[in-house]
Amino acid sequence: MANQLTPKTAASVCCMVGLPGCGKSTVARTLRGLLKNHNNNNEYVEPLFGEIVIIDYDAIAQQELGEQNSNNDGDEDTSLDPDRTSFDSNELAAWRKGRVTAIEILKDTLVTHFTGGGNASTLLILLDDNFHLRSMRRDIYRSCQDIVKIIPQAKIGFSVVYFTTPLELCLQRNNMRSGNDRVPQDVINRMASIIEPPEETKPAASFEHFHVSIENADDTFDMNMTGHKLSNEIYPCLLSSLESPILPKNELSEDQIAQLQHQRILQREETLKCEIQRIDQLLRKLVGAVGRVDKKRSREANVLRRSILEMIRQDNDVVKMEHDCIVQHFACSMLGTEFNSDWLYLDNALVLSIKEAYQEVTHSIPTGT
């Protein structure tokens, strides 16, 4: 394979996908070490990649956060609470900006490689991020298509390494971390509930044809074990992706664009319909919880249910569709407290009944504010 590739016309882009604590970063660094040493040690596979680059999304986000903190007036407390349940606004802003920066780095690295700025014949780029949504991986794929469009001779293989490490183990590893490296546990749980494994059989996932699953459930995932995985699973996947490189994105006609826009509208409407049904089920449970404590307030609770549904239909706001937000709105309205109040800590029968109903539907405890 290595001899068939024209110098400086091949690159492999690989998304490392999985929950925080699944072992992506460790495996990425180990792979880089193994591949860099192939010229001296041919134990696992023949050398192919002359240069290996890791784009670490967390490191980029932390750099963005550091720049934000250095620009504040110094009065704001930017220390991290180890028991926090979510990221603050500064962290979320840094995370979003970091993703844009990472794609810019990817494109710059590819352009430099294909225009003769690099020294390696074949480049491997490992993207170290959670990539828990398929749309995140699609952004990478489309960025590679952009490069192929402007540099037609470029050969870019795209692949995914998906880590199936058990959630419990990821949480344990995360709890051992400190400072910026520690991710709020609720964030990991939510991520685990929505993560989308690569599945090329789906119409919107055909771009993920080349993928391999790794269960990094062993804390002794050392060089020898990684070498075995590299030789038998990861490396063949990388090679296969290079043999079927990315094609440039086809330009769509106006009719095709209009048709796609119509399909997206229908999909959004169907998604909203499903979300409304899900929310209505939750609200009916909450109404029932009120009736069990005070039947006289059942009518009031039902009126509130309908008003919340109508508000969501009008706003089409995804944030307002979150379970936590729904129960917060309902509970505070029924309890007569401020919307951002910590109603969970009130000691009365209505609070207990609402919490039980919520847990019945979602199998979790509301986090409050």
In a domain, 53, yes or no: yes
Q: Are residues 226 and 291 in the same domain?
A: no
Helix, strand, coil in percent for the chain, rounding step 5 = 60, 10, 30
- Whether 179 and 43 map to the same domain: the answer is yes
Tokens 């430099």 appear where?
112
CA gap 200, 158 in Å, rounded? 13
Asked if the structure places residue 249 within a domain, the reply is no
Q: What is the mean pLDDT of residues 12-33?
A: 88
Report the pLDDT value the prediction gives residue 99, as an integer from 0 to 100: 92
- pLDDT of 161 above 90: yes
Q: Is the pLDDT of residue 303 over 90?
A: yes
Q: Report yes or no on 367 lying in a domain.
A: no
- Strand pairing category for 155-163 and 51-56: unpaired
In a domain, 77, yes or no: yes
Average pLDDT estimate for 126-151: 94
Residue pLDDT, tens place only, 266-285: 887 787 788 888 888 889 99
Give domain status of residue 250, yes or no.
Answer: no
Within a domain: residue 324?
A: yes
Three-state secondary structure call for residue 19? coil
Pairing label, strands 122-128, 10-17? parallel
Q: Which residue has the higher pLDDT, 226 or 353?
A: 353
pLDDT value at residue 75: 47
Among 94-103, 156-165, 338-347, where is mean pLDDT lowest?
338-347
pLDDT at 141: 95
Task: Look up residue 142 and give its DSSP letter.
Answer: H
Please determine, for residue 322, whether its predicted confidence score (pLDDT) is greater than 80. no
Q: Specify the long-range contacts of residues 293-297, CB closer than 8 Å, at least 24 apart.
A: 293/349, 293/350, 293/353, 294/350, 297/334
User: Comparing 244-248, 271-275, 296-300, 331-335, which segment has the lowest mean pLDDT?
Assistant: 271-275
Read off the pLDDT band of 228 (50, 70, 90). low
For residue 282, what are the contacts with CB-CB under 8 A and spacing of at least 6? 323, 326, 327, 358, 361, 362
**Higher pLDDT pick, 230 / 200:** 200
Same domain for 226 and 355, yes or no, is no
The listed range with the strongest mean pLDDT (20-34, 35-49, 155-169) is 155-169
Are 50 and 123 in contact, with CB atoms under 8 Å apart? yes
Task: Note whether residue 12 is domain-resident.
Answer: yes
Q: In this structure, what token pair is assigned to residue 252?
A: 């769509």
Could you tell me if 148 and 239 lie in one domain? yes
Domain boundary among 243, 269, 284: 243
Q: Do 212 and 282 fall within a single domain?
A: no
Residue 288 in tokens: 């029932």
- Split into its structural domains, the chain has a count of 2
Q: Which domain range does residue 273 map to?
A: 255-362
Q: Could you tell me if 268 and 225 lie in one domain?
A: no
| Listed residues 194, 215, 243: the one ending a domain | 243
Same domain, residue pair 31 and 60:
yes
Q: Are residues 234 and 205 in the same domain?
A: yes
Are 181 and 295 part of one and the same domain?
no
pTM comes to 0.62
The answer, yes or no, to whether residue 57 has pLDDT greater than 50, is yes
In a domain? residue 190: yes
**Residue 14 pLDDT exceeds 90:** yes
Range from 75-84, 245-254, 269-278 carrying the lowest mean pLDDT:
75-84
Share of the chain above pLDDT 70, in %: 78
| Phi, psi torsion values for 296, nearest 5 degrees | -65, -20
Q: What is the pLDDT of residue 244?
A: 92
CATH code assigned at 155? 3.40.50.300
The average pLDDT across 35-42 equals 54
Q: Give the domain-ending residue among 223, 243, 263.
A: 243
Helix (H, G, I), strand (E, B) or coil at 219: coil
Q: What is the DSSP string of 318-337?
A: TGGGSHHHHHHHHHHHHHT-
The reply to whether 323 and 203 lie within a common domain is no
Which of helix, strand or coil describes residue 285?
A: helix
Main-chain dihedrals φ then ψ at residue 211, nearest 5 degrees:
-155, 160
Q: Are residues 30 and 166 in the same domain?
A: yes
Burial class (CB in 10 A: 0-12, 13-18, 19+), 223: middle
**Whether residue 185 sits in one domain with residue 92:** yes
Is 50 exceeded by the pLDDT of residue 5? no
